[in-house]
A and B are shown apart, each in its own frame.
Chain A
């Protein structure tokens, strides 16, 4: 039932000449979900988004947003979406306020009080010319522009680019709020850590092919971490042998470093039983490592 889906694609394919930018993409994203769209640079994330926006037309396959065809009914669709393009460009000679007024005029029905509220939350300066803003501050104007019509579907390409951590956090809580109100968010990114903080599910794309769709919880479990453990006395490395998910154990007196993928609970239970743990740090493996570990077999060479 596509009517209940925010975004739906069927074998969506886009070729640029001989280059297969997107191959047979099948996606179903329900209403109210925050969907993270992950992949390395050049994987096809932006191609997917530009196809959804009808900026480019699929070579084959189709897509719908809120049940409407992305090409045939693109104008109607755009009444209900908010969009933040990747590598945002705005009109340098307009102030932030001018820019937002321009898009509000083109769109119609924008509540200006809400715009002010968004600007305040993101600490955006609307009086300066956009060309004089730093990239992070320019990004804020783009974010306000995407949120300001209270869209049912928000499509954002690398939205956190240039934002400082405080603003990123505010932005993430804005995403959670709109999702709680029933809006859908399609969020592309190349960093897992950013996406997993807000997304319910994550799709991973590489070389134009969707290679996995996972809930964030299961991805988190899959994520390999480098765990550093500090004890108050030297430990015996054999303690860690046979623990599920533990690999590459290196023991150096009181300090143990190991690779781990699994539930942290099991690891903690095993090591605190008999040893006194002083400190623990975990480092997330980057996306590339997860790909290499889990999806090596599934990647089809393009």
Chain B
């Protein structure tokens, strides 16, 4: 049975794994090539306190810098994401699809099925880790970079252990609840939370030890790329994995399998209660089916609320308040901050309030926040309805196809604006509460630019969705393009001879004008808006010309 499940899971997953491996390998190549060509004394001359925070070792060389910048965060998150999605799909996912009953119709116990699923998750994560290891050895060989003293294998092994931990976590939640959405939701939340906790907690004196409560600490803190495998830390992860899998076995055996039913939401309860029925029906019932844009909006309102909340409170208000608590020494050392490393998170001078917000909020998190919403809607808008086979019915109504594309776009634009406004409001309030004194107009300008940037990539996802009708192509295509073009924009300017090429990346038109300092760059705004409209027109044309898919 293990072989059967392994084969099926592998066939389901190999494309995603291959795309992830190629993207990460390309990123490593790109990063290492850049570091090879710049003066590394920038990094090694940094004060020790700062190097520790930035994860830069004293004897930093090209290899460890590149692995640190690319593999230790992006790579580990990708691998953990892969394991996590396999974990949530394993039991709960099959229950959602109504196939678990079929699987258990075979003469195999639930424990046996779970064990096979767990073994599959571990093996395929190991395959992913091996591919990363291979790429990690191949790239420096190709570039002729000396990586003596760098423990790629140890780094990848730590990555593998933490990835399996999150896979086991999502498997355990799925086994207990039978809800795959909850399984991946909780695991992703723990993953993101622990990633940030391990990064941010050591910045505060007195809270350094708090990081030890998070699994990511046992992956990252021992700096395996420099120091080799830390068996103590890996041991902690292994014990955690064992405990979670044991928990999963107990969970899956003790409960009734779920029928293929839908959960009862708060809105459903309110609609059923006589007192609130009328009001809720008007707000949530008839309103959400009044037009396509509203229906689409209702499908993504959960995502929007979470994203807007994170951008407003955590990335806005909290970052503003945090500034004044930061160690003074950090602020002075920050003047020496290496531009090359900061380029990855959007650049900026951390000693100024503007630079602080640029690094912490606008550089990476704000684009991600807007894109989470726009790419999700763009990728699923058309292809999602085709995959669920509702598009035929929708288009049986007297609407031109362009109308469907435009209605979905309305939702995307409104939601992107909501995230943009939440970011603006959060940063403005954070700046006020923290006494940072940012120019409100400049904050608004930067928030507008990030909204437009997110819409460009959302529209790109929409184009792929319209042209192919395949959610995965649209989703991974847009995410891949965003990562590649972000790196393009981050690394090319470091080398004067190719700096001009950065203009080919939409990211260039977002922060290169330094809008937090200088205010609105209307030319750049126009470029982003124009790009969005052009992509939208392309999406309408592609969708209009194509046969609908029949899944």
Q: How many residues of B contact A (CB 8 A)?
A: 29
Residue of B nearest to A78 (CB): B398
**Known contacts A57-B547, A94-B289, A132-B262, A85 near B389 by CB under 8 Å:** yes
**Known contacts A89-B390, A129-B262, A132-B262, A55 near B395 by CB under 8 Å:** yes
Contact assessment for A85 and B393 in the assembled complex, using a CB-CB cutoff below 8 Å: yes
Q: Name A27-63 residues within 8 Å CB distance of B.
A: 46, 50, 53-57
Contact assessment for A131 and B261 in the assembled complex, using a CB-CB cutoff below 8 Å: yes
Residue of A nearest to B298 (CB): A93
Q: Name B521-551 residues within 8 Å CB distance of A.
A: 547-548, 550
Contact assessment for B389 and A101 in the assembled complex, using a CB-CB cutoff below 8 Å: no
One of A55, A56, A101 near B289 (C-beta < 8 A): A101
Give the Cβ gap from A223 to chain B, nearest Cβ, in Å. 32
State whether the Cβ of B399 lies closer than 8 Å to any Cβ in chain A. yes
A91 to B392, CA, bound (A): 12
Residue of A nearest to B285 (CB): A98
Contact assessment for B398 and A107 in the assembled complex, using a CB-CB cutoff below 8 Å: yes
Chain A interface size band reads 35 or more
Residue of B nearest to A145 (CB): B393
**Known contacts A78-B398, A98-B289, A107-B397, A56 near B390 by CB under 8 Å:** no
Give the Cβ gap from B388 to chain A, nearest Cβ, in Å. 6
Contact assessment for A131 and B262 in the assembled complex, using a CB-CB cutoff below 8 Å: yes
Residue of A nearest to B292 (CB): A106
Q: Name B491-535 residues within 8 Å CB distance of A.
A: none
Residues of B within 8 A of A56 (CB): 547-548
Contact assessment for A78 and B396 in the assembled complex, using a CB-CB cutoff below 8 Å: yes
Give the Cβ gap from B370 to chain A, nearest Cβ, in Å. 25
Proximity string of chain A (208-235) to chain B, C-beta cutoff 8 Å, 1 when within and 0 when not: 0000000000000000000000000000
Give the Cβ gap from B343 to chain A, nearest Cβ, in Å. 43
One of A79, A85, A99, A102 near B392 (C-beta < 8 A): A85
Q: Name B316-351 residues within 8 Å CB distance of A.
A: none
One of B268, B288, B292, B398 near A75 (C-beta < 8 A): B398
Contact assessment for B547 and A106 in the assembled complex, using a CB-CB cutoff below 8 Å: no
A213 to B295, CA, bound (A): 43
Residues of A within 8 A of B550 (CB): 46, 50, 55
State whether the Cβ of B106 lies closer than 8 Å to any Cβ in chain A. no
Give the Cβ gap from B284 to chain A, nearest Cβ, in Å. 9
Residue of B nearest to A146 (CB): B396
State whether the Cβ of A298 lies closer than 8 Å to any Cβ in chain B. no
Give the Cβ gap from A63 to chain B, nearest Cβ, in Å. 15
A102 to B190, CA, bound (A): 38
A92 to B392, CA, bound (A): 16
Residue of A nearest to B548 (CB): A55
Contact assessment for B399 and A55 in the assembled complex, using a CB-CB cutoff below 8 Å: no
Give the Cβ gap from B179 to chain A, nearest Cβ, in Å. 14
State whether the Cβ of B206 lies closer than 8 Å to any Cβ in chain A. no
A91 to B262, CA, bound (A): 12
Interface residues, chain B, CB within 8 Å of chain A? Answer: 260-262, 268, 285-286, 288-292, 295, 299, 388-400, 547-548, 550
Interchain residue pairs A-B with the least CB separation, the first 9: A102-B289, A89-B389, A83-B396, A56-B547, A78-B398, A106-B397, A55-B548, A79-B398, A131-B262
Contacts A93-B262, A95-B285, A97-B285 given; 13 further ones with Cβ under 8 A? Answer: A53-B392, A54-B395, A56-B547, A78-B395, A78-B396, A78-B397, A78-B398, A79-B398, A89-B389, A98-B286, A101-B289, A102-B295, A131-B262
List 9 A-B residue pairs with CB atoms under 8 Å apart, sorted by A's residue number.
A50-B550, A56-B548, A79-B398, A81-B396, A85-B396, A91-B295, A95-B285, A98-B285, A101-B285
